[in-house]
Amino acid sequence: MTLATPISSQAATSSPPADALPITQGLPFTDTVGAWVPHGAFTIAPTANGPLDGLRFAAKDLYDIAGLTTGAGNPDWLATHGPATSTSPVVTALLAAGATLVGKTITDEIAYSIQGDNTHYGTPLNTRAPDRVPGGSSSGSAAAAAAGLCDFALGTDTGGSTRVPASYCGLWGLRTTHGLVSTDAMAPLAPKYDTATWLAQDSNVFAQVGDVLLPDNAVPFDRVLTFTDTWEAAEPAFQAPLERVTTALAAALAHPEPIAVERIRIADAGLEAWRQIYVTASAYDAWETHGAWIGANRPRFGAAVDGRFKTASAITAAQADAAFASQDAIRAHVRQVLGATGIAVLPSASSAAIPRNAGGEAVDIVRANTFRITCIAGLAGLPQVSLPFIGDDGLPLGVSLMGPAGSDRALIHLAVAIGRQLGCLGTVAG
């Protein structure tokens, strides 16, 4: 994993990086939802023709572009890092497939939140629920895609940073198998959990991006599971869509005999215990990654992010070792339950997006509830695709399919087929 070069260690040269791309300043549209960072208004043309010809994408301000400085959602990060020396392989692949990059979008600071606000750059507008947050940390990417200002947008997902905004904004989104899509030339939060991801309104576009970024695979899915403890952790509005997806999935996988849905509680120790393990392990990883920079630069963080890093700084190596050992057991358990051909149905978040003016206590409660669900894929390193619905309350919500490691591309195509059958947002029946 590479970071933008700190200013103090840059060579005194004006020569552009070897792989610098021709950059045009400005965006070909007006940012009507406050999704772009001030230093992210630029355009890069495709480097070749390909399957993504004519599509525009934005990149979360964690992805490096050679010659530009990555901001990671914090002005002090921007000020203490110099221009990147290389471009993210993900960005490079998309440009080579014919897509046009239209700048960089807001992220919660150092991607350390699932709320979607940023003390320095503001809260992007969630066009499907304007009085509510877009979710984070891929907040700008979700807002941009939901508003139709780009066809898809790159995000990241460490603890839920794509699945949650996808659910809040009514988008197709995912967490990829950990390590399957390159996170080189990308500012990290916690490398043991970070994944490169994307969001889109249109299910076909969502799948086309997967066809470019993911290895081809054919997985003979033949089992359907529900993690009932995750269903119980979500608000009532999720229950009907969860059942619809489960029923449709079981019917789709019948070969030709009907499939009996396996309804199990995945966390014997309870999802709260799993959440605590994830929080401890990932926070330790985040402090190992950023503690030296924070100590040297004293960056100005918003109160919530500042509090998380302070908590992370106090985690001992012994506590982290215990959490990592517990994670190993959880990872083995979840992977064994799914096997090589199983798919689990679970909520993408615990609730609809919360109001933009919600207080800190309300935010903390929703965050904890949601992490009880999202931590599973993070601990197990597994792919999870979120299908967008509108609940009975009129608000967007996501239902997810979780599959075996490396099944991402097959999982996406199955999810899109199920979404088309059920009339999910962004699909055309047929």
Active site residue 161: yes
Question: 254 with 203, same domain?
Answer: no
Question: 184 with 271, same domain?
Answer: no
Active site residue 60: yes
Question: 208 with 295, same domain?
Answer: no
Question: 104 with 28, same domain?
Answer: yes
What Cα–Cα distance (Å) separates residue 49 from each residue in 45, 58, 94, 211?
Answer: 11, 18, 10, 15
Residue 429 within any structural domain of the chain: no
Q: Give the CATH number for residue 244.
A: 3.90.1300.10
Instruction: Count how many Cα atoms sit within 13 Å of the Cα of residue 138 in the half-sphere of its side chain.
Output: 38
Question: 313 with 346, same domain?
Answer: yes
Residue 218 within any structural domain of the chain: no
The catalytic residue among 60, 113, 167, 282 is: 60
Contact of 156 with 162, CB cutoff 8 Å: yes
Question: 283 with 366, same domain?
Answer: yes
| Structure confidence at residue 18 (pLDDT) | 64
> In a structure prediction context, what are the per-residue pLDDT tens digits for the chain, which is 430 residues long?
334 434 333 333 456 676 778 999 999 999 999 999 999 999 999 999 999 999 999 999 999 999 999 999 999 999 999 999 999 999 999 999 999 999 999 999 999 999 999 999 999 999 999 999 999 999 999 999 999 999 999 999 999 999 999 999 999 999 999 999 999 999 999 999 999 999 999 999 999 999 999 999 899 999 999 999 999 999 999 999 999 999 999 999 998 888 999 999 999 999 999 999 999 999 999 999 999 999 999 999 999 999 999 999 999 999 999 999 999 999 999 999 999 999 999 999 999 999 999 988 899 999 999 999 999 999 999 999 999 999 999 999 999 999 999 999 999 999 999 999 999 999 975 4
The catalytic residue among 86, 88, 113, 137 is: 137
Last residue of some domain: 190, 213, 236?
Answer: 213
Last residue of some domain: 213, 242, 260?
Answer: 213
């890093």: which residue's tokens?
A: 309
Last residue of some domain: 213, 237, 271?
Answer: 213
Question: 176 with 238, same domain?
Answer: no
Question: 257 with 180, same domain?
Answer: no
Question: 263 with 352, same domain?
Answer: yes
Question: 11 with 145, same domain?
Answer: yes
Q: How many domains are contained in the chain?
A: 2
């630069």: which residue's tokens?
A: 297
**Where in the sequence is the domain holding 37, given as residue range(s)?**
7-213
The catalytic residue among 86, 139, 141, 161 is: 161
